[in-house]
Structure formats: C-alpha cells, structure tokens
Structure 1
Amino acid sequence: MRALSPDGTRLAPTETDKRSTLRMKKQLYPWQEDCLKKWFANRGRGMVQAVTGSGKTLLALTAAERLQEKVPQELRVKIVVPTSALMRQWERALKEFLADSCGTMAQAPASSSSTTAQTDFSGLSRSTTAPPDFRQEIGLRGAGFKSPADCKYMIYVINSARYELARQILAELKNGYAVLLIADECHRYESGQNRLIFEFLPYIKPYEDCFFSLGLSATLPGGQALQYLSSVLGRRIYNYGMKQAAAMHTICKYDIYHIALPFLPEEKDVYTDITDQMNYLFSGLLRTHPFLKDMPLKERYELLRTLAGGKNRKTAQMASTYINLSYKRKNLVCLASARISCACELIKCLPQAEKIIVFGERIRQAEELYTLLQKHFPGKVGRYHSRMGQQANRNTLNRFRDGSIRILIACKAIDEGLDVPDAATGIILSGTSMQRQRIQRLGRILRRADGKEYASLYYLHLEDTVEDTCFLPDAKETRLFELEYLPDTREFLNQPYDKAAEKLLSAMQSAEAGEKALAEVQRCLRLGSVRSDWLPGRCDADVRIKEAKYVSDKNYWICMKKLREL
C-alpha cells in the first residue's frame, strides 16, 4: 500500500474569508496541519492525543475532506462516539463544516473497478460535482435514532455500533466505497463489548487500501490497552498536550486554585478510625503478600479483589474487608459537608454574569448543592446527571448554552460531550484520582471564545486525607493559587492576597474613611480573595472601571487597582 501524500500549506485568509464566521472556523492551527501531514504519511491511519478544546473535531472533519479529494472512490465516513450528547455535538459540527465547505466534499463516482487494486492518487483534482444536500447525507444511529445505514456520514453511539458497525463497514468496502472510521474518545473502545466494532478487521485484507482510521482522545491509555488500540486504529501519530496548547494559544489562559477544606470533628474521627482499621488489615496482608506494598494503586486493588474471591478464607476476609473500608473512606471524603458550603460561598464571590460548571461525583451531593444554590440564584441553576433522564439533561444543556441558566451542576456523565466555549469557570466539588477525568474536566472550560480572556478551575480537596492535594496540569504558563476555606466563618484564606488586602484597609483607616466606605471595601476584598484580578497582567483595571455598569462593580475594580499599586 502506497503512502498518502501530505496536503499543501495553509493559505492566508482572504477578505471574503474574514467576512465569513464559518470560514474562519475552518482555518487550522499549525499543530492540526502538522498532525494531518503525519496522518497522511502514515497511510491515513493512526491515533491523535490532543487536549480537550484544541480542535480534534475540526481536525477529523478536515482529514475526511482532504481524504475524499485524494481517493477515486466515494468516501463513507463512520464516526463512533461514547454518548448521545457527543453524537449531537458531532452532528452540529458536521452540518456547519459541510455548509462551509460548499461542496468540497462532493461525492465522487463509486469505482466500478476491483477494490483490490492499489489506490492511485496521481493526477486527481478536486471534484466539481454539485454538492449534495448534506442534511440528507448525515445519519444517526443510537439514542432513539435509526437512520438508513447508507448515508455518507454516519454517527454512531457505541452501544449501537457494537452490533452493526463492523458488518456495515465490511459491506461498504465490498461494494467499492472507501471508508474512514473516526473513533472519538477512542480510549473507551479497548475493552469488553466495545471491541466488537473492530470485528471487521480480519476480513478486509483484500480492501485494506480503501480503509482508513483516525482515533481521537485527550488521554490515550498505556500498556496493553494502547497496544490493542494501535493494532486496530494505527499507532499514536501525534501528541498535543496542555503545555503546547497553552504556549500556542489554542486554548485560553487559565488559573488553578487549590482550596483546602477541613473535616468536621465527627467526620475526622470516623475517617481516623477507618484508616486505622485499614492499616491493621494491610499489615496482615503484607505478611503473606509483601509485594502489595510497592504495587501501583490500580494493580493493588485488582489483586485484592482476586484475593477476596480466593480459597484462603482468612486472606479473603481481610482483603474483602479492606476493600469495603476503602470505599467507605472514599465516600466519607467525597461527601464531606465542607464541600457544599465552600462551593456555595465560592459561587457567591464569582462574577454574576459568568458561566460556571460544577463537577461532582455523587448525585446526592449534586442535588443538595442545586437546592441550596436555587435559593441564592433562582432560575439560574441547572443539574445534569444520569437520574434526570435524557430529555431533561438535553434541555438543561440547551438552557446552559443559550444563557438561560449560568450555573450547571454535573456528575460524571458530563466529563465527555459538553461543548460550551463561553463557560469560563469550573469547580471540582469532589475530586477524582483518574488523570483522564481531570484533563477532561479542565478541558471543558479551556475552549477559546469571543470575549473570554481567562478560565479558572477551583479544585476542592480535604486536608490530611488520602485525597490528592494538588491538581497540576502540564503547562508552565499556568498560575497556581493555594487557598483555605473556613466553614465556621465562611471565609477564604489566601495568604499573599490577605497581606495586600490588610495593607489597603490599614491605609483607609489611617485616612479616616467612614464606616460605609470601609464596609464596601471589605465587601470588594472578600470577592477578590478567590480571584486573580488583583495581580498585574490579569486584565486592564482602568478599562473595567470605565466599562462597569454598576457602582458595586466599579468599586470592586477600584479596589483591585489599588491592590496592584501597593
């Protein structure tokens, strides 16, 4: 099989392009052009690891467009996604892309020659066939949709793709089509029943020159999982991480805030008791299985589950009890009462027009925070989780996108599939030890959008527990702030900021400012304690003062300006 030749360099946008929003969206970043060259050089196969928000969807659709220009057959594009929310997101992106392309992906006549012949790309030019009605060219399978399987562009939810995609790909290859399989969030397809989507691979050798694949993920797995995905989708051809994306400004600038929380005394007592029991049991297990000590956490728990089902009754009992206690301790940390109080007070301090996503791990916790926030921000809060139902969740996302609500409380179901570029603030209500989930959640707020200067992620964690105390992305330009929350007084401690704030208050007291003026300054300083507006370079305070619509906002920015001048 001969390698596909890389595409040419990107052209500078014309005045017509500048007048078209859609056309501007199609201009690729340098990393995308470089990635496409590598993909074509690798015969149109491979996986791409790129940070969420950097443009993986546009990359894939451009790959399909350019591939159609290079192959003589009609190209059929199969897109597999893990959730119905992602299916709708891809449908919107595809419709926009095809409308912008104005027929550049027009169908080429199906080849009547044998599909076993080598593909020849020499002398091919862009098709001049009139563009099809792309609305009829897009099919959906899954989440209640069952479009005809012969649409040019088919988007499948994985649950439906398992039992029909392999058969459909093989049939289309036999009928003379070229096929591009785009596996979005491809790390989800390496295990269990999801592998069924690749069952066609052993049977396509006569047609392999007409089959192409592109895997997309923000967090590709390692080890055997990566080996399997490489065997079905092609090797990893590109890695575009947080550091590169921040340096190249393909994602917006962002700050990370670590907020340390305390247990209530009674919660701390229970946590200590559980930890003591776990330490005692683990010491006993180490006497017969000393290698447990140095095993990575994931592998350790896999072995413990094996031991819990083993024939040695004593070891099985110890392992089973240890696992149950670990779940109980994790639940205690996750549901610590300080989290709800902290999140609520934090949101009160954030800009009133800002869109906020709160990420939680438990539905019970999400509902509790939702009820509390509705009292403070009636009609402006929504929740999204598995018990809400698909239509209710869909309605909530639509309201969040159009601005009807500005605070979205979500559980794990939204880690993949949320595309709201103007959301600028994320709050991790209860943490996750999975690096993949961390990156995905951060990526939800990093997409660039008009008027969006900065993004902020607040990571709430319990002090002196097994919970990770840091959320460190791979980006040198990121600023990291360490805060503490005091539930009794509902205050945030931010040492560098607090020192500057105290100097400003002292200066005003020395100038014999009135009680009302001091109270207003204290209000503004409380809001600023959880933001970085007081630091030089964050934004132009003079512009904010001039543009402020309300006296309260103007006063806030005056205080931030004075803090910068100290």
Structure 2
Amino acid sequence: MNGARKGESPMSHQEQEQSNVPFGDPESLQLHQLRLLEWLATTGSKRRADASAEDEQEPEPVPDRWQLTGSLAPYEWQKECVQAWFDANGRGTVKVVTGGGKTLLALSIAERVQNDLDDKLCVVIVVPTIVLMHQWYDAIREHGNIPLTAVGRLGGGYTDDLGDGRRILITVLASASRQLPRIVKRARAGRHLMLIADECHRTGAKEMSRIFKSDRRWSLGLSATPEREDDADSGYNDSLLGQELGPIIYEFNLADALREGLVPKFTINHYGLPMTPEERSRYETLSRSISDAMSTLKNHRESRSDGDFFSWARNVATRNKGEMGAVAMRFVSNTSKRRELLNRMESRHQSVERLIEQEFAVNADARIILFHESIDEVMDLYLRLREKGFPAIAEHSELPGSIRETGLDLFRRGVAQVIVSARSLIEGFNVPAVDVGIIVASSGSVRQRIQSLGRVLRRHRGPDGEEKTSCIHVLYAAETTEEHIYAKVDWDATTGVDRNRYYLWNAEDAPTEQEGPPRSPLPKDTDIEPESLEHGVVYPGEYEGTELTCDSQKNVTDADGRLARNTAELAELIMQAKGAAGRFRVTPQRLYVLIRVPGRDDWETRFVTRLAEPLEFAEPPKTSEPDVDPATWAEAAELGMQYPFRNIGISEKDLKFKKKGGGVVSKRIPGGEAFARAGDRASDAARGADARRVIDALLELHKQGRHVSKLYLNAANHVVFHEAGQTYFVCALEKGLEFPEGT
C-alpha cells in the first residue's frame, strides 16, 4: 500500500519521491537565502558593476571601418558563402550545420557591407531565445571594434532600439515581431538596414512573420535546416521565408563539416525498438482511427494548400461544433495519444539505461546528453535515472534561470554527467562538448534531428589532450510512423558516408545490425520510367519540382500569379485524381504532374499525367487585342465571351460568387469577408443595380454549366473571370460595387 487515505487518490511516483525527502519550510528558506547570497557574490556584483559602467558611458564614435571578426580567420567555405551572398545581390539563406560557424559568417558579411557598400549600415539580428541574444552580444564584444554603446539589445528585460547612436540591434523574436517595424521606421534606417534572421525557420510562423514588414536593404537567413515542416509541400524558395530572406544560396552540412575538420569523427547508431503486445495493439487501434478521420476530413476540406494539414484540422476542432468538429477533434486527440504512446514505450527506457551503463563501463568520466520530446517525459526519465543512481540532472525551459545555469555548470565541471533535456538544448544553449548523445525520442522533423546531432558534434579534447570522438544513439519505434523520417533525407549524404549504423534491438538481447535504414529517400523523376505510371497511382518517387496551383475554374497559376495557357484538360485530370482543386507539382526533368493526398499515416504522392512540353505562361502578343476601345467592345459583347484585352489593370481581385440566398458577391477582408450590397440594400442605387447585374449574369452562367466562383473587376469597370487559362467577360458596370464602410 502507498499510504493513501480512504477516499484519496493514490500518490503518483513523483509525489511519493517528494514525500520521502525531509525538505520543509525551514530548508526552503535556507536554500533560497543561500541562492541569493550566491547570486550576490557572483552574478549580482558583476551585474551592478556592468550596469553602473553602462550608465556612465557616453556614446562613443563608431569607426568608419568595422572589424567584427577580430583576428579570426574565416574558413574557405565561409569565404565562398560570403561571395555567394554578394553575388545574390545581398539576399539569401544559408544552411549551416549547428556549430559550423554561422555567427562568424554573418559578422563577416556585415563587416564587408559596412566597409565596402554603406558606411551608414544598421544591422538587426533576430534570434529566437534570450540566450542566443547574449551569445551574439558576447561575440561582438569579444571580436568587434565597435563600442558597446553602438550595440543594443531588445527582449529579456532590455528595451534598446536604433536610436542614440546604436548601429547593431540584437533582438529576441517575440519582441521583434511586436516592435521591429516601428523601430526601423522611427529611426529611418530602412535604406541602410541589414536583417539577419538566426535560426530563421522560427521566423516563418505566421504570428512571428511580422518582422518582415520592416523596411530593409539586405537580408540574410541562417539555419541548419531553414525548411519548415508545415511548408513540406512547397519548396523553400517559394515559401514565406524564401521570398522574404532570399533563396538558399549555400549549404554546409555535417558531411562538409567533417571533411573540413570542424567536427570530430563520429558514429551514429540507429536502433529500431520493439513494442510490447499491448503497446502494438493500442498503436494499431489509434492508427486506424486517425486514418479514418483523415479520410473524412480530406473529403470535407476546401481547396487550399496541401501543407500543414494538422494545423488546419486543429483549427476545425476548435471552431467547428458540428460533425466535422467532432471528427477533427478525434483526429487531433488520437494523433497526440499515438505520439505519447510512442514516446513512452517501455523499450525506450530500457535502452537508455543500457546505453548509459555501457558508456560508463568504458569511460567512467563520460558526459552524456539525452534529448526527449516534452518536459513531462524529461522529468519522468530523470526520476528513473536518479533511482538507478546515475549522476543525472534535468534541463528544460520551465526551470528557473538560476537552476538551469547551476545545472549546466555542474555538467561542465563533471559533477553531473548525464543531462536530460527537452527542446531547450536543441536551439540556443551553449552546451559543453560531450562524449555521447542519445536522441531518446524526437518528432518527425528533420530539422530537430539534425540540430540535435549538431549539439553533440563539437571538437574537444580529454584530460590527456587527445581529441575525442563523439557517438550518437538514435532510438525509434520500429514498424511505425517514426520510420518515415528516414525517407525524408539521405542520412549518409547528410552526415558523412559510413557514419551511420542501423540496428534492431530488443534491450534484453544484443542489437542486430541491419544492412541499411528502415526506409530510404525516394528516387528522382529521372529514375522512374513513364511506362510504369498510370493516372492516380501512388508515385514511387520524390515529390519534387515547380509548385503550381489549379483552381475550380480550371486555371493554373504559378507563384507569381501568372496564368498558364490551355489548361482545361490538365485541370480536369488533377481534380479527378485529387478530388478537388489545389496545389500540384511538375517534376524538373520528365515533367510528371504530381499531387499530394492524405494517406494512412502520412501524405501520399500520386501521379496525374506527363506533360508533352512545359506549361506556357507567356502573355499572347498585344496585336491580338481588338482595335476598338474596351467600352465600345463591351456594348456589343455577350455573356461568357472570351475577353480580348490583356493590358487592363485589375482593381478588385479577391471577389467571390456564391449561389446561397439567391446569389451574393463577396470580397476577402482581414478576418473574414464582406458582401456587396445589391438592389435597394445599397445606399447608391447605381451600385446596387451593378451588383444585381453581376449576380444575375453569374446565375445564368451556372445554368449553362459554367460554375464560376472567382471574379475580377478591372480598371475598365468590366467584371471578368478566368477559365482554363483564358479570360471571359461577365458584364460591364456603371459605377462599381458597394461594400460596407471600412471594407
């Protein structure tokens, strides 16, 4: 018995652990007092001295020629990358493996811009965490020749801007998203501004992308993996980040870092772990439910981006109270339950304990980092390891800063030898070199996996001065969705040939080595013969190529909104295979048309057709336009005629037609849509008549089988629509459309 009184819930394992520790209010007070004294003796006195010194400092003149990298000599790859950025006209994203030297790279670029292009340069460095803000500040302080009065910080209690002579501002992303556009505008710095986005994949989130509203002349993105998981179905260069920061101009991965000697020699052992019969049964039940719900939601979903399906479903679950809301809630809930089931597999705990024991048997002084997915799981694993007598500590973002710093200090000094971490150590914390890293569990994110590797792979030497090698163990649930990550990237190419070993492992027995990973990256289009493909079949290759969009009116547009010509047949085939309009890709070499649809556990790629030649987006020659002016032409034009004028600007492009309530015309506005006032509902009778004229014309088109939903109003006051890459006439308006005030 655990001692619970009648009517009370039994204590959890953690509560029992805490109840047996003789720690009451007196001890709490004593510990707190000691921590205050420790802070006062170390951090506190230094902080007061620094603050006093800063208060006394007057802005110092900034030298004309900056030296932000001091005596550090750039590597050859950094020189090449700097030149690639300048060749790209001062825009671009760089993929740099964690620990590869991206800070030095960025400072080298800023130094050259100031010295060669713009002596009034202002630099804004956006980082995701307070820790990274301080690391950038320390790097500039250590290596730069500009006074610290010219370097500001925003976030984490700092409120600096680009005033008072500051030329560099390092800002935490959360603060930048709220204040940066206003700061740049107030300082009138846009013409001289260079924006550096560190860990730039974090700036792509919708709520954080406000920083891109800042005026700027140059942009630089930095990340080990800038591609975001919710942009899986669109290439990086076409994504928000790619458009705002610039395309990927250079890549320096783990294999490159190994070849250049920037990381130590290492091995990565991948262990496929089994489930217990009970865990497997539960997993299969959840997977069937998830698959059924995904299929239902896919049929319900309107035409839109194929990416980030989970976020869309979560939004439906939150807002929709009907049948679809319940289906979405079940999908979201069961997906979370399946993730939790995989993370808490008993074989993970057994394998971790075995790996730690084996390492300490060989190297009693070893330092080991464990990566897990959530704070609850970190603490659960920490308690297990503590029970086993391992010198372990826990590290995560919800711990007080003082405890986190003390824990890392204990780890650096070897007092603690095992650190169990959530994602806080993946980005931002300056972790000392370690001997072994164990990825106990991780999401399906390639980015997280690669960054976890980078935290471990740091060059270091043992007490005898000999350079040490690193070893990384990756645990995954065999024969589950966790195997999908191996199909997303060629791990040998990314990490260095012959550095990966693959095993199946029941922790009670010795691991059994496998010939290769459980899955492999899919082939390119040139590796797939056309004769092996049929309309609608699962495509065996990579989902690659140029991304285009097909709408319900059989139009195909590219990323710039240009219309492809003669697309009726192609659009029909896409909608047949996809079940709706939406995005698709055309592969680069063999011109295969591919779509993405939800599958049992993940998205499936399906083959639609093969193009005989690339799609043509060029406008027809101007000579094809009639000699008459648009107004005269419209007087004789009939509903649904092809519209011959290509050079009349569009004044309203977000108009939609719906048949509900006898027909309505709407336009998109922030937070929703507004409806055109028709007939006597309009304050302007002529505009009310115009709206009625549009609605009646569109209802007639629907009777003819032409289901028009998207409209355009051009500068000639003509309502037109696009269909299969051509433009057609609806009607001419006298004055235009009337919408509610403020829209």
Fold match, TM over 0.5? yes
C-alpha distance 94-403 of structure 1, shift in aligned 2 (>3 A): farther
How big is the shift at 1:66?
A: 2.3
How big is the shift at 1:439?
A: 1.2
The answer for the alignment partner of 2:270 in structure 1 is 258
Q: Which has the higher contact order (CA 8 A, sep 6+)?
A: 1
Q: Secondary structure at the match of 2:438?
A: strand
The answer for the alignment partner of 2:713 in structure 1 is none
The answer for the alignment partner of 2:379 in structure 1 is 367
C-alpha distance 459-469 of structure 1, shift in aligned 2 (>3 A): farther
C-alpha distance 335-291 of structure 1, shift in aligned 2 (>3 A): farther
The answer for the alignment partner of 1:188 in structure 2 is 202
How big is the shift at 1:273?
A: 3.0
Q: Which one of the candidate residues 494, 497, 503 is aligned to 1:477?
A: 497
Q: How far apart, in 1, do the equivalents of 2:182 and 2:348 lie?
A: 49
Q: Which one of the candidate residues 244, 258, 265 is aligned to 1:232?
A: 244
C-alpha distance 303-165 of structure 1, shift in aligned 2 (>3 A): closer
Q: Secondary structure at the match of 2:354?
A: helix
How big is the shift at 1:216?
A: 0.8
Q: Does 1:271 align with 2:283?
A: yes
Q: Secondary structure at the match of 2:456?
A: coil
Q: How far apart, in 2, do the equivalents of 1:199 and 1:493 lie?
A: 53
Deviations 1:64-106 (A, max 9, x none): 22222214524332211011121122222222222xxxx3xx5
How big is the shift at 1:360?
A: 0.4
Give the structure-1-normalised TM-score. Answer: 0.67
Deviations 1:421-452 (A, max 9, x none): 52232111112101111111111112333454
Q: Does 1:454 align with 2:469?
A: yes
Q: Which one of the candidate residues 46, 50, 53 is aligned to 2:96?
A: 50
How big is the shift at 1:302?
A: 4.8
The answer for the alignment partner of 1:31 in structure 2 is 77
How big is the shift at 1:275?
A: 3.1
Equivalent runs, 1:480-519 vs 2, <5 Å: 480-487=500-507, 489=508, 491-495=509-513
Amino acid at match of 1:394: E
C-alpha distance 290-233 of structure 1, shift in aligned 2 (>3 A): closer
How big is the shift at 1:493?
A: 2.2
The answer for the alignment partner of 1:532 in structure 2 is none
Q: Quick check: 1:430–1:461 contact (8 Å CA) kept in 2?
A: yes
The answer for the alignment partner of 2:171 in structure 1 is 156
RMSD: 3.3
Q: Quick check: 1:260–1:485 contact (8 Å CA) kept in 2?
A: yes
Q: Secondary structure at the match of 1:467?
A: helix
Q: Quick check: 2:91–2:246 contact (8 Å CA) kept in 1?
A: yes
Number of matched residues?
A: 426
Q: Does 1:178 align with 2:192?
A: yes
How big is the shift at 1:28?
A: 1.4
Q: How far apart, in 2, do the equivalents of 1:376 and 1:315 lie?
A: 48
Q: Quick check: 2:162–2:184 contact (8 Å CA) kept in 1?
A: no
Amino acid at match of 1:143: G
Q: Which one of the candidate residues 139, 146, 152 is aligned to 1:139?
A: 152
Q: Secondary structure at the match of 1:154?
A: strand
The answer for the alignment partner of 1:198 in structure 2 is 212
The answer for the alignment partner of 2:129 in structure 1 is 83
C-alpha distance 376-90 of structure 1, shift in aligned 2 (>3 A): farther
Q: Secondary structure at the match of 1:164?
A: helix
**Structure (1 or 2) with the greater helix fraction:** 1
How big is the shift at 1:27?
A: 1.8
Q: Secondary structure at the match of 1:162?
A: helix
C-alpha distance 23-190 of structure 1, shift in aligned 2 (>3 A): closer
Equivalent runs, 1:204-223 vs 2, <5 Å: 211-221=217-227, 223=234
Deviations 1:33-61 (A, max 9, x none): 00111222333332212222211111011
Q: Secondary structure at the match of 1:343?
A: helix
Q: Does 1:348 align with 2:362?
A: no
Q: Does 1:390 align with 2:401?
A: yes
Q: Secondary structure at the match of 1:353?
A: coil
Q: Quick check: 1:462–1:469 contact (8 Å CA) kept in 2?
A: no
Q: Does 1:328 align with 2:337?
A: yes
Q: Quick check: 1:421–1:448 contact (8 Å CA) kept in 2?
A: no
User: What stretches of structure 2 of length at least 5 have no aligned partner?
Assistant: 1-68, 515-743
Runs of 4+ in structure 1 over 6 Å off: 283-286, 289-292, 309-312
Matched residues, percent identical?
Answer: 30
Q: How far apart, in 2, do the equivalents of 1:462 and 1:289 lie?
A: 32
Q: How far apart, in 1, do the equivalents of 2:342 and 2:73 lie?
A: 46
Q: How far apart, in 1, do the equivalents of 2:457 and 2:113 lie?
A: 30
C-alpha distance 36-225 of structure 1, shift in aligned 2 (>3 A): closer
C-alpha distance 301-406 of structure 1, shift in aligned 2 (>3 A): same
The answer for the alignment partner of 1:444 in structure 2 is 455
Q: Does 1:248 align with 2:257?
A: no
Q: Which one of the candidate residues 346, 354, 378 is aligned to 1:337?
A: 346
Q: Secondary structure at the match of 1:444?
A: helix
Deviations 1:203-244 (A, max 9, x none): x6xxxxxx3322111112253764422333233322223333
C-alpha distance 330-144 of structure 1, shift in aligned 2 (>3 A): same
Deviations 1:493-517 (A, max 9, x none): 2459xxxxxxxxxxxxxxxxxxxxx
Q: Secondary structure at the match of 1:367?
A: helix
Amino acid at match of 2:261: H
Q: How far apart, in 2, do the equivalents of 1:184 and 1:257 lie?
A: 30
Q: Which moved more, 1:344-353 or 1:447-456?
A: 447-456
How big is the shift at 1:289?
A: 6.5
C-alpha distance 308-68 of structure 1, shift in aligned 2 (>3 A): closer
Q: Which one of the candidate residues 37, 43, 65 is aligned to 2:111?
A: 65
Q: Which one of the candidate residues 420, 425, 428 is aligned to 2:439?
A: 428
Equivalent runs, 1:5-20 vs 2, <5 Å: none
Amino acid at match of 1:342: S
